[in-house]
Structure 1
């Protein structure tokens, strides 16, 4: 029986080549899109879940509100781990990580710069399930000056030899690093990615007892089934116990008074599995994802698949008149309804199987492009994903049944007597749609298809407009002609001489020495101060150590006062505020001459006099509002910012590289352009725009395939009507209008329904930006016009073809 079903299904597929092609193509594209996005969603949701204790590990974070300035940081103070382990019995284990900057390691005759370097506590491998392929995880990080490296680094520096016991000699360090372990390369779905883990026992800062400094990423292991919020509720006690005395010493007031002055600070806990998709912290270990993108792309995958299934339902039910006689004869010959249902389901499953094979091929072809757009390294392999094959079979069965169930029950419900008499009525369903008669379900499916298409078009427009706004917004500094020279601190005393050589080049407008860069990698220096003698009214900001050329090099402008100048010896105790800092300190436009005081941990104070106010500039992402910033003259070596003329940048780089080599520094010359560093900050948004654009196009294409199929059926079912109208003098334009207007009404209805949905979705996305565009009417009008034009072109092609048909031939058609 099954073979007979398959044989009949195959014959019907060949008999209706156009409709079969449309169905298979639409289903294949829908399934391919669903599979691609499914891989992405699975990857995002799998972050950090491979650890054996994943459901019990939490990260300690720091949140504060200082005079209205919110602080969210992913790292905390050095003694936090041991203090919480000691005070709270529910903390079973505690471990820490800390960035170690970079290592310059010798490889042959070359120096290699390694940036993925961290310090880790000795119990790091007890908490996390990062396997060691060589070495003892219990003892690998016990002793100072020991290091565990990844397999990739082991091959890079030692080839196939066993690196255990061998050493690496960092430039500038008297102590070599002994290799005590080799760990597997960190998986992509981990928020921790380092190539070198050095023993925390060799870091003096790790032994510090101060609760006024941070930079240590701290993780706790809790009991099985324990609710981390119970521990979090107790953490204010720890903050008051340990931070209170230091605040009293530094700020001269009890902790309770500090809070009464409008300040608040505390420790929070974050589950390990939430870190990647639910983080809003500064200084995180790696760029985080966004759960909203997972939900959004997941919804696109589901709806794309539904659109393809709707196409199948639409075309199957629209062509019901062609199968009515077949159903009637089968029933007269004794076929029961269940057999007919199985016949039509087998046809659906056959089409789905062909579409699934085509979809798998499309995924294999499209995955490298998708990886390039999203920046991921997703794989589609039966070896790496053992559940893939049964998953695909189940996926195909579900899609086949979903797409074919309604047409199967619909077609099998025809009454044989009515069908054979030529009356197309059927039980409980009115009449089979032909010509202008409506079927509400079919109309609803077309509306749903174009609703999703419209939402995606609007989403793409909004994302691209926001990216354009980011590119063109006034940042308060010049990013276009600024060259960033890295690691210039390696020049030592010759750094100033190198700067002077740059300034003597006619292609250089200005050059400043400072490691504080408003985009890309930058030094960080938190600054907690109060104005004049108002102790307790603290403002939390960022301090930039700069020279007198920093402001003109970056093209910043002064709102008041003056820039630093070598002519004023007192500028070593001077300070320049940004407008936000001046405002939060209560001075506004009258900040010049006031004093800013910074209390130190030991009870001493540093006082600066305000000599200038620089206009606000965006030194962080446009996701964040501009916060207080203070500039001082100080130790600012490490990076040179060069404002260059655009005529001969390549020649200038060649000259600078030669000067770098001549300086005798054996560190490789490294540079970047500030504009590129700025653009890298918004890579996630750029990827979102590209992905939305891609899926918008695919969604519209699949929806139009279904619309095209319905247009073909409508034209065929109204062939005689068109012939009569042409004989009576109807023009081609009037016939095209007649055949197109019903479809356009559905598209317009879809636009009306989808507009508030699109507005809400994109408003939520834009809320993540402190500086953003307004959603304007023309975005909806443009997207609607595009949808209407595409739909009209799709329908009109077949409508014009039908209208141009010879009326004699039309009237003879059966």
Structure 2
């Protein structure tokens, strides 16, 4: 029986080619969107699931006004000793350079004379592989982590330095170390879907043996990342509640300080590792994370696109009821039951949906390279694995889109049909109008969403950040010896034509900044957390940072015994001092030393040294040779020649590391890469949804025109003008669009307001956006209807009424 239904379905598809093409094409585009987004969402939602029993992996974080990922180094092993529910734990840390930027290593294979710069190196406890059970492919991982000079390499890095040779027992020179590091194990490459990546592992033993008394490894320093593997069935929330009372025996603080911290919501948190990628954007994340909100936005856009296609199908099927009425009447007269007719029409809908699935696969294959270039990923549709998804989407789409039309068509009574009295149901017309309003409402929301997203992105790009970001070249300073010769390097660079200014700093706007506490010596109770950056005396002039009070650092300050600090307006305001200039500040830079004291010599205007997601926080600038970046303001003309010259000059001072450069504005724009990608993908799917809606509107207009052609001819005979007839046809659709605009406006406003809450600095949602979006929707709809309005104006009553 089903095969017979499908045969009838094929005949109807061939019999109505335009309607069938609109249905199949619309559903195919909608399903293609769902496929593309399903690949994206599956990728985003399955981070950190490659470890055995990944559900039991957790990270310890610190919650405060400015929550962070870093906690004390001894905490991991202390928790194993004191909490039976903790099966194992590990503390780890990247190797830090000044300002807590990632340290870059020059790694050399002396035998082969191979050298590369490496960033992804970690110090770890000996328990690392108890927590992160990454397969060891060669050597002994635990033994390597108990060795002072042993290191572990990823498969990729091992091949990079040793080719197909067995690397175990081989040695690598790291930076200027006289003691070579021995390769003692090789581990499987960390999968791409991990919230942090590493290629080189070294033991804390190595660093502690060099500086055993360093406070960095004490309870006083919140500078490490602590991970736990809990025993199956352990309650992480119950463990979390125990942490603050427990940690008191290790951290020195008064009862009042602990009570105040807990009352303010401060304290340690236990965070599931699988939640980190999408639900964690704390300070000092090991790598940039995703945003679960953007996953929801993309999924909603794809589902709304498919919903519009399904509405098209429903409308066209029910609108054709009058044309199929005789077929239904004959079948019922010959004994067909309503259930059989419903199943027939449902089978037709599923058939159309499955054809759409096939076409959608072609669309996905054609668009996947472009999609990958936008997202920066390498997604692929694995057909054998995706076959259940393909079939499931086709069946669900067909059943959802065909359920109502099959009920409507099967309910038609045969006696009214065979007497020629069936003209369609008024309830059906009402429902079609409701569905059209839903379509237009979704289209209005999508157009408004596009407008607000791109308005915010333009605002981010164009906002005055308080410094000059254009025409600024940044060179990574990797060799520490360059710092002592920085003035000579700057002098040589300034001799170049087109180089306007040169400076150096530990951090740059757009990167993460280390934080410590400062207070006025005269008012130590009012201490504040400040982000800190080490700069040279030309930093403010190079980036055009405005000074609002006092002065910036000068050349003579380098050799002065008087320590001076420059702070921003926010820091000056929070220190609550009427006149801040000349006041003495104590800076708690090192946990195991006395605070560094100095006087405020200047106040700079607040500038955005972090992304616009964050408010401007207190900032302290100190004169120091701890530089990681060389900052060059230059004329961009003839750039390639200038870059070659800069590279040559820099090579005289550092020939141990690769020359690496970037542009400051590119670094800043990278902070908003996720928003840029979301905007492009959202705009693409929104445009497709609107195109699909136009397909449906075109088909509905065609059916309405065909049903009203005699009425229009009679009106023309009775003297109706072409403009009046055009208005008659447009009037009903325009009313529906205006209703849709009214419904969609508050919904769109609420949705965009929620999205903008991700930004501290954002555009307002102005009424002009909704007015403009409504006008665009009207214009798109009128253009879609223009073919039939023009056809109406040229209709010949003699032809249409000659058989009456």
Matched, 1:451 2:453: no
What pairs with 1:787-802 in structure 2 (closer than 5 Å)?
787-802=777-792
Q: Is the 8 A contact 2:58 2:227 kept in 1?
A: yes
- Greater displacement, 524-533 / 615-624: 524-533
Matched, 1:193 2:179: no
Matched, 1:517 2:505: no
Q: Is the 8 A contact 2:301 2:682 kept in 1?
A: no
Deviation at 1:421, TM superposition (A): 0.5
Partner of 1:697: 687
CA distance in 2, matches of 1:257, 1:307: 57
Deviation at 1:479, TM superposition (A): 0.5
Deviation at 1:717, TM superposition (A): 0.6
Partner of 2:408: 410
Partner of 1:59: 59
- DSSP-derived class of the 1:669 partner: coil
Deviation at 1:257, TM superposition (A): 5.0
Deviation at 1:141, TM superposition (A): 2.8
Partner of 2:98: none
Matched, 1:82 2:77: yes
Deviation at 1:566, TM superposition (A): 2.8
- Greater displacement, 297-306 / 323-332: 297-306
Unaligned runs of 5+ in 2: 96-102
Q: Is the 8 A contact 1:623 1:770 kept in 2?
A: yes
Q: Is the 8 A contact 1:719 1:811 kept in 2?
A: no
Partner of 1:684: 674
CA distance in 2, matches of 1:664, 1:292: 44
Deviation at 1:547, TM superposition (A): 1.5
What pairs with 1:159-170 in structure 2 (closer than 5 Å)?
159-170=163-174
Deviation at 1:297, TM superposition (A): 1.8
Per the alignment, do residues 330 and 232 of structure 1 end up closer, same or farther by CA in structure 2, a change over 3 Å counting?
same
Partner of 1:235: 243
Matched, 1:374 2:375: yes
Unaligned runs of 5+ in 1: 65-69, 246-253, 426-430
CA distance in 2, matches of 1:176, 1:320: 83
Structure 1 length-normalised TM? 0.93
Per the alignment, do residues 714 and 255 of structure 1 end up closer, same or farther by CA in structure 2, a change over 3 Å counting?
same
- DSSP-derived class of the 2:523 partner: coil
Matched, 1:735 2:725: yes
Per the alignment, do residues 13 and 597 of structure 1 end up closer, same or farther by CA in structure 2, a change over 3 Å counting?
same
Structure 2 length-normalised TM? 0.94
Deviation at 1:677, TM superposition (A): 0.6
Deviation at 1:300, TM superposition (A): 2.0
Deviation at 1:637, TM superposition (A): 2.6
CA distance in 2, matches of 1:6, 1:603: 83
- DSSP-derived class of the 2:736 partner: helix
CA distance in 2, matches of 1:14, 1:39: 33
CA distance in 1, matches of 2:603, 2:255: 32
Q: Is the 8 A contact 2:60 2:226 kept in 1?
A: yes
1:557 corresponds, among 529, 546, 561, to 546
Partner of 2:285: 284
Q: Is the 8 A contact 1:50 1:129 kept in 2?
A: no
What pairs with 1:623-772 in structure 2 (closer than 5 Å)?
623-663=613-653, 665-772=655-762
Q: Is the 8 A contact 1:574 1:632 kept in 2?
A: yes
Q: Is the 8 A contact 1:572 1:634 kept in 2?
A: no
What pairs with 1:420-459 in structure 2 (closer than 5 Å)?
420-424=418-422, 431-432=424-425, 439-459=429-449
Q: Is the 8 A contact 2:302 2:685 kept in 1?
A: no
Per the alignment, do residues 166 and 812 of structure 1 end up closer, same or farther by CA in structure 2, a change over 3 Å counting?
farther
Deviation at 1:462, TM superposition (A): 1.1
Partner of 1:395: 393
Q: Is the 8 A contact 2:139 2:184 kept in 1?
A: yes
What pairs with 1:40-55 in structure 2 (closer than 5 Å)?
40-55=40-55
Matched, 1:540 2:529: yes
Deviation at 1:22, TM superposition (A): 0.2
Aligned length: 787
- DSSP-derived class of the 1:169 partner: strand
Partner of 1:35: 35
CA distance in 1, matches of 2:431, 2:467: 57
CA distance in 2, matches of 1:645, 1:636: 27
Deviation at 1:570, TM superposition (A): 4.2
Matched, 1:72 2:67: yes
Alpha-carbon RMSD across the aligned residues, in angstroms, is 2.2
What pairs with 1:264-303 in structure 2 (closer than 5 Å)?
265-303=266-304
CA distance in 2, matches of 1:291, 1:508: 44
Partner of 2:230: 222
CA distance in 2, matches of 1:603, 1:592: 26
- Greater displacement, 493-502 / 129-138: 129-138
Per the alignment, do residues 638 and 489 of structure 1 end up closer, same or farther by CA in structure 2, a change over 3 Å counting?
farther
- Greater displacement, 472-481 / 338-347: 338-347
CA distance in 2, matches of 1:726, 1:263: 77
